[in-house]
Amino acid sequence: MTTVLQPTAPILDSTPDSLIFVGERLWLDFVNSADALRARRPGRNDVLDSFDGFIGWLSAARVLDAERSAAMVRRAQQQPTAASAAVHEARRIRNVLRALAEKGTDETDRATQLAIGEINRILGRSAGTRRVESRADGGFVRNFVTVGDVFAGLLIPVIESAADALVSGELFRVRQCADARCARVFYDASRNGKRRWCEMATCGNRAKAARHRRKIKRV
Ligand SMILES: [Zn+2]
């Protein structure tokens, strides 16, 4: 059975091009959603500052397809309290995941224990089915369709990505950008394990320019 959904208002300006995905892992990109806008604005860079922003990010991250995103935005208009609770929870979970990303290599660490608790709570309370569905551009997307609370499953793919990081023991390769002003985190997939910057185009180049300026001063 296919439900035909009418498109709703455009979902924010969070198109894939306007958002930065440099984490190499979905859960790390989710952590970075606090500062994911390519054109940084003073003060307001958090895509989770509204439910629409949350859905826009999930859509840009290809967790939700356009049809399901539109359905979620429409449901949020019908159930604003539940929607604002969902985005509130998303921000809280993001804090927990950030703590895991920043100091999660020790399994006895409090941040890790807290993250495991939250991961299990979300995995445990949500029921639904997985589906592979075709996208309008001819590709495919894997969707998780929840039963029960309509917003309960939104964080599942993010949480599963964090669970994968724990299970596969790859937290030791999770790093924070070497620029002290940048809080972005990423999985270092480089062969030599020496990736330092969230992006060469921004933080990497800033560091390069600063090094260059210091060099000129010394000459
Ligand atoms: Zn950076």
Q: What is the pLDDT of residues 123-172, one digit of tens each?
A: 887 677 888 988 888 888 887 776 767 788 899 899 999 999 999 999 99
- Residue 69 forms part of a structural domain: yes
- Residue 30 forms part of a structural domain: yes
Q: What is the mean pLDDT of the chain?
A: 85
Domain count, the chain: 1
Q: Which domain holds residue 194?
A: 16-218
CA 123 to centroid of ligand 1, rounded, Å: 31
pLDDT of res. 13: 54
- Residue 67 forms part of a structural domain: yes
CA 202 to centroid of ligand 1, rounded, Å: 7
CA 67 to centroid of ligand 1, rounded, Å: 33
Q: Which two tokens stand for residue 204?
A: 């990497």
CA 176 to centroid of ligand 1, rounded, Å: 8
CA 210 to centroid of ligand 1, rounded, Å: 14
Any idea of the CA torsion for 165, 49, 124, 96, to the nearest 10 degrees? 50
Alpha-carbon span 197 to 179, nearest angstrom:
7
- Residue 35 forms part of a structural domain: yes
pLDDT of res. 215: 80
CA 68 to centroid of ligand 1, rounded, Å: 32
- For 62-71, 101-110, 112-121, 122-131, which range has the lowest pLDDT when averaged over its residues? 101-110
CA 205 to centroid of ligand 1, rounded, Å: 10
- Residue 10 forms part of a structural domain: no
The rounded Cα 205 to chain-centroid distance in angstroms is 24
Helix, strand, or coil (residue 22): coil
- Residue 194 forms part of a structural domain: yes
Tens-digit pLDDT profile for residues 39-95: 777 667 899 999 999 999 999 999 998 888 999 999 999 999 999 999 999 999 999
CA 161 to centroid of ligand 1, rounded, Å: 22
Q: In the chain, what percentage of residues exceed pLDDT 90?
A: 52
CA 197 to centroid of ligand 1, rounded, Å: 5
pLDDT of res. 107: 59
Helix 80-103 vs helix 110-125: crossing angle, to nearest 10: 140
- Residue 7 forms part of a structural domain: no
CA 177 to centroid of ligand 1, rounded, Å: 5
Q: Could you tell me the pLDDT band of residue 14, with boundaries at 50, 70 and 90?
A: low
- Residue 5 forms part of a structural domain: no
pTM: 0.82
CA 179 to centroid of ligand 1, rounded, Å: 6
Alpha-carbon span 73 to 149, nearest angstrom:
14
- The CATH number given to whatever domain includes residue 141 is 1.10.3300.10
